[in-house]
Amino acid sequence: MKILKFGGTSLGSIENLNKVKNILKSDYDQKIVVCSAMSGVTDQLVSLSENIKLKKTKEIALQLYNLKEKHVGVIDNLIEDEDKRKKMRSVLSQIINEILDLSAMEYSEILHSKIITRGEALLTHIFSDYLNLVGVPNELLSAEDFMWVDNIENPNLEKVSKKLNSILRKKTNIPLYITQGFICRNKEGDIDNLRRGGSDYSATIIGAALGADEIQIWTDIDGVHNNDPRYVEDTFSIPSLSYNEASELAYFGAKILHPQTVFPVIDKNIPIVLKNTFNTEALGTIISNKSIARGIKAISAKDKITAVKIKSSRDLMTCDFLKRIFEVFNKYQTSIDMVATSEKSISLTIEDTDDLIKIQKEIEVYAEVIIEPHNSIICIVGESIITDKKSHKLFDALNHISIKMISFGGSDNNISILVETKDKTSALKALHKNLFLIQQEVMI
């Protein structure tokens, strides 16, 4: 059994849907295909949910109309037979009417999740029917029936496995299943979601629950690149990464992977292969428990980072001071990325600032707090990077950049540097030149 995940860009047009169809036809292994919503649809649904919250009825009606027309256009361009078009439009109308009914309800977080996960339902109904019509037999599975993860951070794989295997045992000799990514149920059984980009995570949860042979994640890029190609020229894809290396890159901003993607499969040793829907011949990147080479492999960056500098204004012992600080952040479930300490002060970084004002007020009772927004964490990743002889070059490369914080040694696989976001692109380019390009020129 293989698990294949296709993202919104891969499914974002008639041409692309046909590319995915051809990929599926060329692979004869039994597989489950996990689909995102069409490109842009989840953003539309998030906006719709916000308008439901604000009770903007005119905007809601217009957005539902646009959503329906977008998918009707897909049906009309995919399907030639008018009777089959009518049948597919009927299913589409049912889902749109479900969203309409939801829009009349009182806003809640559960309602929000129900709204924003409808994009995957719209796409998978259309795509499954289309595949059956063009000779790619498949069956549609509803992720709501088996993706009972209980806890998003630590999914209940045993529960997902039990429910999914129970469904699959009732369906025999089916080579291909289509299902939705992103959507799940929480421990109360309510509809929830795996956060933005969560279809990758859906694929690895399903793969781990079934003990799949391989998980393929199809995107619009040739695997994980050694730097961010949106900001840096001459990047290249990395043939292989260890689970740890991939985790670090994803957590610190590599857009090709959801940050939690690799966690479900690490203990089960299931390889994840990143492939390009638009360049199927490219080797892509294999993520596994094997580390092919040591040393610096890649660079990623995470934006919207806020630095918090805290200086004790009382005669507190260092251990008590740190304990009280971390207790406050834990109270508000605010994760900390980087930390630097001295006897009476601590500097740290956070991404989630929703409760920052409350945190600041609590800490200011016994300490001075300075908030510095608009920062980026640049993460340099590689197996045993701490002992790599080239690691010192990154500091030479950044001698023109104001570095605000360094995390060196917290993990054997990464060095993290905090810079102002305005300096991020310059830093990425300088690191790329000094760590990769100059080395290649010397080898040539």
The dihedral sign for the CA sequence 39, 41, 42, 47: positive
- Say if residue 89 carries a ligand binding annotation: no
pLDDT digits (tens, 9 = 90+) for 277-325: 999 999 999 999 876 777 889 999 999 999 999 998 766 666 788 889 9
- Say if residue 421 carries a ligand binding annotation: no
- Say if residue 124 carries a ligand binding annotation: no
pLDDT at 352 over 50: yes
- Say if residue 395 carries a ligand binding annotation: no
- Say if residue 204 carries a ligand binding annotation: no
pLDDT digits (tens, 9 = 90+) for 121-167: 999 999 999 999 999 999 999 999 999 999 998 999 999 999 999 99
Q: Give the residues across from 339 on adjacent strands.
A: 348
Task: Sketch out the chain's domains with CATH numbers.
Answer: 2-220 (3.40.1160.10), 298-443 (3.30.2130.10)
Q: In angstroms, what CA-CA distances link 83 with 80, 86, 139, 324?
A: 9, 5, 21, 67
What pLDDT is stored for residue 442 in this prediction? 37
* pLDDT-derived band at 256, boundaries 50, 70, 90: confident
What pLDDT is stored for residue 438 in this prediction? 66
pLDDT digits (tens, 9 = 90+) for 188-210: 999 999 988 899 999 999 999 99
- Say if residue 5 carries a ligand binding annotation: yes
- Say if residue 129 carries a ligand binding annotation: no
Query: 251: which 2 tokens?
Result: 């957590």
CA-CA distance, 10 to 72, in Å (whole number)?
Answer: 19
Query: 110: which 2 tokens?
Result: 């559960």
Q: Which residues contact 265 (CB under 8 A, 6 or more apart)?
A: 204, 207, 208, 215, 243, 272
- Say if residue 219 carries a ligand binding annotation: yes
* pLDDT-derived band at 444, boundaries 50, 70, 90: very low
Q: Cα-flanking dihedrals φ and ψ of residue 391, to 5°?
A: -60, -30
User: How wide is the angle at C-alpha 303 spanned by C-alphas 340 and 235, nearest 5°?
Assistant: 110
pLDDT digits (tens, 9 = 90+) for 397-420: 899 999 999 987 677 788 999 999
What pLDDT is stored for residue 394 in this prediction? 83
Contact by Cβ (8 Å): 232, 290: no
Q: Which residues contact 111 (CB under 8 A, 6 or more apart)?
A: 49, 52, 102, 105
- Say if residue 304 carries a ligand binding annotation: no
CB burial of residue 224 (10 Å; 0-12, 13-18, 19+):
buried
CA-CA distance, 128 to 190, in Å (whole number)?
Answer: 25
What pLDDT is stored for residue 443 in this prediction? 36
